[in-house]
Amino acid sequence: MLRKLIFLICSAIICLMLAKSSWASPSDNDDQDSNEFYEEVLRQVLAQDGWFVIGSYAYKVTRYRRSWLQTRESCKEMGGYLAYQGIRNNTLKREVGRAIIGSRYSEGIWIGLNDRLEESEWIWLDGSRADTIEWDINEPNGFGLENCGEMWDENKKFMINDEGCCDLHQGLCERKIAL
Ligand SMILES: [Ca+2]
Ligand SMILES: [Ca+2]
């Protein structure tokens, strides 16, 4: 799957580079135009592979219910990472929830959030401190038993719940598009 995606991305970029070189005048060749061009190519290729593009990020839900650690690996295999970067912004998180999770998933979806190293010290996937988490009412409530984060659609607010890391759920994968 990853090889196929890389092949598609490379093919599309090469085709569009060739096409663009025949359209562009020398004055078009500044870095910003170039970046926007490649980002647009990447958006189109990702959309064809089932990723949902919102702003500078693309999102896709994993196919199978797995533990948090297994889901983290599944996102890597899909060419992304367990979502955390874009959805740290709560406005974007809700937008992603409405667009992707909606009423399609009746249970929580893993995200790149955990307090596995130290209880109640919640960190994002890159180890940065998570201090803007929109916990659902009465969450987090699992203390030492629930050390991984999931987003769920309770009341359509797409809030965060702490969950046992070995529970089986699908997960939200993310890719950054902006160069
Ligand atoms: Ca915990
Ligand atoms: Ca909980």
| Range 73-99 average pLDDT | 95
Residue with tokens 């992603």: 96
Å from CA of 117 to ligand 1 middle: 9
Determine the distance separating the centroid of ligand 1 and the alpha carbon of 149, expressed in angstroms: 9
For residue 59 the two structure tokens come to: 């999102």
Give the number of the ligand closest to the Cα of residue 140: 2
Q: For each of the domains in the chain, give its residue range(s) and CATH number, in order of start.
A: 1-49 (no CATH), 52-176 (3.10.100.10)
CA of 162 to the centre of ligand 2 (A): 4
- In 3D space, the residue among 142, 149, 151 whose CA is nearest the CA of residue 93 turns out to be 151
**Rounded Cα gap, residues 153 and 77, in angstroms:** 26
Are the C-beta atoms of residues 111 and 172 closer than 8 Å to each other?
Answer: yes
Between the CA of 135 and the centroid of ligand 1 the distance, in Å, is 13
Share of the chain above pLDDT 70, in %: 82
pLDDT band at 16, cuts 50/70/90?
very low
Residue 159 contacts residue 134 (beta carbons within 8 Å): yes
What would the pLDDT profile of 19-77 be if each residue is shown by its tens digit?
Answer: 444 444 445 567 778 888 888 888 888 888 899 999 899 999 999 999 999 999 999 99
Bridge partners (DSSP) listed for residue 175: 58
Nearby residues for ligand 1 (ion, Cβ within 5 Å): 115, 147
Q: Which ligand has its closest atom nearest to the C-alpha of 145? A: 1
- What confidence score (pLDDT) does residue 4 get? 57
How much distance in Å is there from the Cα of 139 to the middle of ligand 2? Answer: 5
